[in-house]
Structure formats: C-alpha cells, structure tokens
Amino acid sequence: MVSERGLEVLRAIVQDYVDTREPVGSKSIVDRHHFGVSAATIRNDMALLEDEELIVAPHTSSGRIPTDKGYRVFVDHLAELRPLSPAQRTAISSFLDGPGDLDDLLMRTVRALTRLTGQVAIVQYPSFARANVTHVELVDLGGGRVIVILVTDTGRVSQRVALLRDPLGADVVGRLRTTVADLIVGRSVREGAQRVDEFVTAQQEADAPDIAAQALARVVGEELEEFRQDRLVMAGTANLARREADFRGSIFPVLEAIEEQVTLLNLMSEMVADEQGLAASIGRENDAFGLGEASVVASDYDATSGLARVGVLGPTRMDYPTNLATVRAVARYLSRLLEDDESSR
C-alpha cells in the first residue's frame, strides 16, 4: 500500500521525468519539491513505489522513471488538468473559427491540436448513419458527366462526378434529380442507402431499365456508404520522428497504425471515458492494438448525430495534464461550433 507521501513522490517523478527526460533521483526530488524530509526518507518511498511496480531503474545505480502502471496511477489520481493560457485559447479559436464545411473544420481541429501539443492529433468523424439527407443536387457538366452533391443535416457535404453513358439534357437531369431526391431526401443515411440499393436491384430486373437513373443511383449509394463509414482525420505524424527517442522500442507499429487507421479507430472507440468525457490509454494497455509503445488521450465531443472523439497520440512520456486539458478544451469548442451551426440551419 502506497502512502499519500509516496503518491506525491510519484507525482514528482512523473513531472520531473517528463520535463527533463532524465531518471529522477531522491536528491533532486528533495531539492526541487521541498517535501520537508530527508533524501533517505524519499529513497524509502521510492523503494515502496518500485515494489508496487510504479517506477523502475532503467540502469544500475540510476534514478527512477515511471512505468506504464505508474503513469496510469498518475493520470487516474494525481494529474491536475492545467488551465489553458489565454494564448492557447486564442490559438484554438483562431484555428477553428471561420466558414467551412465539416471536413474543413475537422482538419483545422487536428492542426490546432498538433500545434498546441506537439503530438499526433486525431479526430473521429461523427457517425452519419443516423444523419438525414436534406438536399441533393445534380450539375450537368456535359458529355455524360454529372456532379452529384449530397447534404446532410449534420453539415456533411459530398461531391462526386458521375460518368454516365450518354450526354444528358436539362429535362433528363431534372428527372434524375427528382428520382434520386424521392429515394433519399428527408430520410436517414442508413434508410436512404437501403432504398437506393432496392432501386438499383429493381432496375436490374426490369424489362426496360432506366440506365441513366441506375448508374446515377449506384454513385449515390456509394456516397451514402462513405457517410456511414467511421473515419479519422489526423495531423502531426512528423512529430513521431522528432520524439523517437521517447519510445522504448520501434515507432514502426505506430506508423503502421496511423497508415491503416482501422487500429486507431478501434482503440479510440474502446477507450473508456470518465464523467468529464476524458479517456487515456497508456502504453501496454494498448498491446492488443500493437501500440504498446504509445499513449492516447482523448475527449468526447458532441455532434448532432452522437458523440465522437478528439485526441492525441504520442509516447508514454508525455505531459498528460496539459494534453488532457487541451483535448478537452478543443472538444468543447468543437461541440459548441457544431451546435451553433445546427441551430442556424
């Protein structure tokens, strides 16, 4: 059982190791943190922390560094979120404020996060399966090329060029727009995708199929499927190379997870948040995802279609209080922007 002073010693070791990158000894703790006890007493506290596997000596006769378990105790019980400075809050608002669709807003979000934390920034797209399609538009480019524009009530906008077999006139484009709108407008993405699939199947079985409508519906169906897919947007991967020395082993599994995305999607989805919507997954807690060398901290943000997450990924040696405070502040700002956008519709 670790005493209260022992936990405070752990806090000091975590803070000093994050600040200096050097193993922390009892003398430096006495000098920097003014516990009011001797170095011998601090050494006894450190021995108990080592027995509990909260700290470890990386080399013989060296100071101590936190273990993954030590970081977990620190985050759960000792980390006090540091309020953001006015400059940091101004940076968040300057990055996130301004016109743009959801894709643009989330890209600005990860740029703000990586700038503020120096880590890899990650934002989950909200799940659009329950979003409703509010508008569909077709723009004839000539030569059988048509821009298909879909808009949902969550602010998601999709644009794609459909290549049809024959050139179209204005009357045909109008008819095709009506056909597609009848299938999906005012319906959820999930229901719209199902109705489009049924329409394509019916056209395939018809004696005289509407070839143009069938081809266009296929494109619309593929776009609706894209709306239903979980996705991430990320920034700051280059920061991994700058912090490579902070990883105990190879950073290649982390790079592979970033490239594939599905691993990070699964991890972000399974992280358990506290009552404030904050979550952290540290070091070996990520072994099942092949990310035992990394930590992820995240915060829920509220979109009209439900909760999603924004977070940062980096080495276990990271500034957890600052990173948690930053992702929480960004998540709250992002939620407010999405809420204001929804109320203005």
**What pLDDT sits at residue 43?**
93
- 242 and 97, same structural domain? yes
More confident call, 324 vs 241: 324
User: pTM for this structure?
Assistant: 0.76
Tell me how many degrees the CA angle 105-110-253 measures, rounded to the nearest 5.
140
- 120 and 241, same structural domain? yes
- 238 and 122, same structural domain? yes
Lowest mean pLDDT among 110-124, 214-228, 271-285: 214-228
Question: pLDDT of 292-302, one tens digit each?
Answer: 989 999 999 98
Q: CATH number for the domain including 195?
A: 3.30.390.10
Question: pLDDT of 166-175, one tens digit each?
Answer: 888 888 899 9
- 253 and 140, same structural domain? no
**What pLDDT sits at residue 342?**
60
**What pLDDT sits at residue 229?**
66
State the residue range of the domain holding 277. Answer: 86-126+230-343
Report strand pairing: 278-282 vs 157-163: unpaired
Give the mean model confidence (pLDDT) for residues 144-156. 86
Question: pLDDT of 7-32, one tens digit each?
Answer: 999 999 999 999 999 999 999 999 99
- 256 and 194, same structural domain? no
- 266 and 118, same structural domain? yes
Query: What total of structural domains would you count in the chain?
Result: 3
Give the mean model confidence (pLDDT) for residues 56-65. 85
Rounded distance between C-alpha atoms, residue 109 and residue 116, angstroms: 11
Rounded distance between C-alpha atoms, residue 41 and residue 131, angstroms: 60
Asked which of 228, 262, 291 is the last residue of a domain, the reply is: 228
* Number of Cβ within a 10 Å radius of residue 151: 19
- 326 and 236, same structural domain? yes
More confident call, 117 vs 97: 117
- 161 and 223, same structural domain? yes
**What pLDDT sits at residue 343?**
56
Rounded distance between C-alpha atoms, residue 139 and residue 119, angstroms: 41
Cβ atoms of 185 and 136 within 8 Å: the answer is yes
Q: CATH number for the domain including 35?
A: 1.10.10.10
Mean pLDDT for all residues in the chain? 89
- 146 and 271, same structural domain? no
Q: CATH number for the domain including 255?
A: 3.30.450.40
